[in-house]
Amino acid sequence: MITFKDVSLVYPNGTQGLKNINVKINEGEFVVIVGLSGAGKSTFIRSINRMVTPTNGELLVDDEDILKVEGKDLRKLRTKVGMIFQNYNLVNRSSVMKNVISGRLGHTGTLRSIFNLYPKEDKIKAYDNLRRVNMESKLYNRADQLSGGQQQRVSIARVLTQDPSIILADEPVASLDPPTSHQVMTYLRKVNQEDNITTIVNLHFIDMAMEYADRIIGMRDGEIVFDGPVSEVEEKTFEQIYNRPIREEDLRGSEEDASTK
């Protein structure tokens, strides 16, 4: 469970990233954060694994205030909270297997990992996770030989290999085309349901948010302006969140639309 208690964040240059955020995210929920760019979506997500540090308030992950953890405890928090990025952030020159097993780094001793001496169960786990995203045939390919969608699937396998209880995804489909976007979101949804991993995804496509989320949180100017289950959301809600009429660029388009084009 993740609890924001009056969390604020002011960047050193004076920009207010988060303003008095109060929100509770339950275990196993699939939450999509929507908002225009600059609304604070990224800052919100990155606070949870302390890639940024809020300046005020309390942020509880599994009943532990994570705003004060440092060093070893911080790394332990980060093994529990996996992250997926817009640009996949794989090591291009390394093989798919090496990228996926690097998810185990937080659980493995320094020397063991340097000499590539992973326990057998870790290697099996990495391979199993690659199978879950249907990438096992590319095991020994270099990461830069894969397409964008394939790279994002490898990065899902990497995050699963670290055995997280929470997955944060920061604009995971912003660099992908519509069919591939749906594929990646489907895998994220599947993992969320099968393993009961709390999943928080930043998106700016309204239709995708509606299709995959349990719950939608809308942000504007660092504040939460909407929070509710998908069933309560209609087009008007997004117009409120975005503070302007909905445009075509706010939609990703469905899988069928894209394939008939």
Partner 1 sequence: MEKNFNLPPKPNRQKKIVRNSAIALILGVIYVWAFSGVIEKVDWRFFDRIGENFDRVVPRLVDVDWSATSKVLELILETVFIAYAGTLIAAILAIPFGFWAAGNMVKSPFWNTMGKWFLILDRTFPELILAILFVITVGPGAFAGVLTIGLTAFGMLGKLYAEVIESIDMKVVEAMEANGANKIQILFYGIFPQVLPEFLSFALYRFEIDIRASTVLGIVGAGGIGTLIVITAANRDWEQLGLIILAIVVVVMVIDYISSKIRKRLV
Where on the chain is the footprint of partner 1 (CB under 8 A)?
49, 51, 75-79, 82-83, 85, 87, 89-94, 98, 102-103, 105-108, 110, 113-114, 155, 158-159, 162
Picking from 73, 135, 66, the residue whose alpha carbon sits closest to that of residue 99 is 135
Nearer to partner 1, 138 or 220 (CB): 138
Instruction: Compute the least distance from the CB of residue 94 to partner 1, in Å.
Output: 5
Supply the minimum distance, in Å, between the C-beta of residue 10 and partner 1: 22
Nearer residue to partner 1 within complex by CB, 127 or 226: 127
Q: In terms of Cα–Cα distance, which of 78, 102, 82 is closest to 90? A: 102
Report d(CA 156, CA 103) in Å as an integer.
10
We find the least distance from the C-beta atom of residue 45 to partner 1, in angstroms, to be: 11
Integer Cα distance of 241 and 226 in angstroms: 7
Q: Which is nearer to partner 1, 119 or 229 (CB)?
A: 119
The CB-of-76 to partner 1 minimum distance in angstroms stands at 7
**Alpha helix positions (H), the chain:** 41-48, 71-80, 96-101, 110-114, 120-132, 148-161, 178-195, 206-212, 235-242, 255-260
91 and 154 Cβ atoms separated by less than 8 Å: no
Question: Which lies closer to partner 1 via its Cβ, residue 19 or residue 107?
Answer: 107
Beta bridge partners of 23: 4
Q: By C-beta, is 129 or 162 nearer to partner 1?
A: 162
